[in-house]
A and B are shown apart, each in its own frame.
Chain A
């Protein structure tokens, strides 16, 4: 009897010791990883991600916004953004997003898509602060995270509002299949593609699709406001 009781106590102590070791190990690993990440960020030269976006950067959606069955964010693919960090599309939830599929060395119409998105941003005024802008690369081979970051800086995209993503070709195809974007190689370096700006609500459902360039933006602006829960 006594022997058995002693044994149980010993086991509990052992467990306690094991637990402490495990914790210590976990902390060591976490700090090592943290250090690695810090070094990577410093080397990358990107500004620190503000706290309000920390949840997005970690890949977790905003706690208050469920993803519905029709949401683009049901795609579970892994992407990387301009910081090189891995992102899931679900990290975009909780915020109205304007999404387009472009590529950084596109000389023809992609700059105009960007211009349209910036015009929409301007037209939204104060509401624009609540909206995110997402560019998904059609050319993941050339558009590395580094390239995305350079591009964003070169065209003046506010990293607090703009997310640039690069991923596997099959995953790009899935996003295009949901959004309704067609694209194919055109010669050695170009990609012919439809020009689309999609408005996604906080749950990731498509509320509006603007096809073509330089057209009347009022409908898209209205769709964004509606997704924000505002009336004109």
Chain B
């Protein structure tokens, strides 16, 4: 096949993340109508997955959506290129205060009064009135994302459901989607919207499920809470901390040097990676929550 015919064939198949990356286009063509988003497919089948057959659904916990396999370019990756993400399942929205309250009731070791300091710092469940009482001020509070939870606590919660935390790549892959397309991470308009979401001041996090639903049917990935991932320890940035003031990057990091960012327009991703680089497993934060994932 001649190069021209090959290019025409690729064009006929529709835009792919590869094409978008290669082109570096600020306004990549929209996904054609023929390709249905997972969320659209689900709506066609009458709504949420059957909780009875969904092992991580359960009556007390939110159902997950299935995110199909794909490829994307992480902002800071091991290489400068694309990574493949296997199909996986992801919570539609962050774990809520009510859900976490049910968890600590069932698992006393994770109550504020009992948790070991190595697993959660002094800020753990800071706003709660008591070990088992989150102190709801109004009816909406139960459905806000739980915050002030550590990585260890988040992992324990997901594990108790037979699930796990999403990996960094999984989370970023899901977060690259806008309402209309899975790969909006190079869309300048989308990036601008996200930046506004991230920098808008909020007195408290909104009730889950109330921010935009993306291509995959997932809510609240942007501007609600920072979210724990399983491998936050894999974020290695030069100049990530005050500690490296004593030496150059080469002294601080083993390897030829940390990999640079792949896309300087993706401001929201910069914020996320910079935030992750400073984390430790016991840390808690007023704007830090999580959601669970599972293998597909």
Chain A contact residues, CB within 8 Å of chain B: 68-72, 74-75, 106, 108-110, 173-174, 176-178, 180-187, 190-195, 209, 211-215
Known: A176-B233, A194-B252, A195-B252. A187 touches B78 (CB 8 A): yes
Query: In angstroms, how far is the closest chain B Cβ from the Cβ of A113?
Result: 8
Taking CB atoms, residues of chain B closer than 8 Å to A215 are: 246-247, 251
Q: Which residue of B lies closest to A205 (CB)?
A: B118
In the assembled complex, the Cα of A173 lies from the Cα of B281 at a distance in Å of 9
Chain B contact residues, CB within 8 Å of chain A: 78-79, 116-119, 151-152, 230-236, 240-241, 243-244, 246-247, 251-256, 258, 277, 280-282
CB atoms of A70 and B116 under 8 A apart? yes
Cβ contact of A213, chosen from B78, B235, B247, B255, cutoff 8 A: B247
Query: In angstroms, how far is the closest chain A Cβ from the Cβ of B59?
Result: 29
CB atoms of B78 and A184 under 8 A apart? yes
In the assembled complex, the Cα of A183 lies from the Cα of B258 at a distance in Å of 11
CB atoms of A69 and B281 under 8 A apart? no
Taking CB atoms, residues of chain A closer than 8 Å to B118 are: 69-72, 74-75, 178
Taking CB atoms, residues of chain B closer than 8 Å to A176 are: 233
Cβ contact of B255, chosen from A72, A108, A209, cutoff 8 A: A108
CB atoms of B151 and A177 under 8 A apart? yes
CB atoms of B277 and A182 under 8 A apart? yes
In the assembled complex, the Cα of A106 lies from the Cα of B255 at a distance in Å of 9
CB atoms of B255 and A182 under 8 A apart? no
Taking CB atoms, residues of chain B closer than 8 Å to A213 are: 247, 251-252
CB atoms of A174 and B281 under 8 A apart? yes
13 contacts between A and B (CB under 8 A): A74-B119, A106-B254, A181-B233, A182-B233, A182-B234, A182-B240, A183-B234, A184-B236, A187-B79, A191-B254, A192-B236, A193-B254, A212-B246
Known: A69-B117, A173-B231. A185 touches B253 (CB 8 A): no
CB atoms of A178 and B235 under 8 A apart? no
Cβ contact of A178, chosen from B244, B246, B258, B282, cutoff 8 A: B282
CB atoms of A182 and B236 under 8 A apart? yes
Taking CB atoms, residues of chain B closer than 8 Å to A109 are: 251, 253-254
Taking CB atoms, residues of chain B closer than 8 Å to A193 are: 236, 253-255
CB atoms of B254 and A211 under 8 A apart? no
CB atoms of B282 and A211 under 8 A apart? no
In the assembled complex, the Cα of A26 lies from the Cα of B2 at a distance in Å of 76
Q: Which residue of B lies closest to A71 (CB)?
A: B118
In the assembled complex, the Cα of A224 lies from the Cα of B78 at a distance in Å of 35
Taking CB atoms, residues of chain B closer than 8 Å to A180 are: 280
Known: A70-B117, A177-B280, A211-B244. A186 touches B255 (CB 8 A): yes
In the assembled complex, the Cα of A174 lies from the Cα of B231 at a distance in Å of 10
Q: Which residue of B lies closest to A216 (CB)?
A: B246
Query: In angstroms, how far is the closest chain B Cβ from the Cβ of A171?
Result: 12
Interface centre among B234, B241, B255 (most CB of A within 10 A): B255
Taking CB atoms, residues of chain A closer than 8 Å to B282 are: 177-178
In the assembled complex, the Cα of A187 lies from the Cα of B244 at a distance in Å of 24
In the assembled complex, the Cα of A93 lies from the Cα of B199 at a distance in Å of 46
Query: In angstroms, how far is the closest chain B Cβ from the Cβ of A110?
Result: 6
CB atoms of B255 and A190 under 8 A apart? yes
In the assembled complex, the Cα of A70 lies from the Cα of B252 at a distance in Å of 26
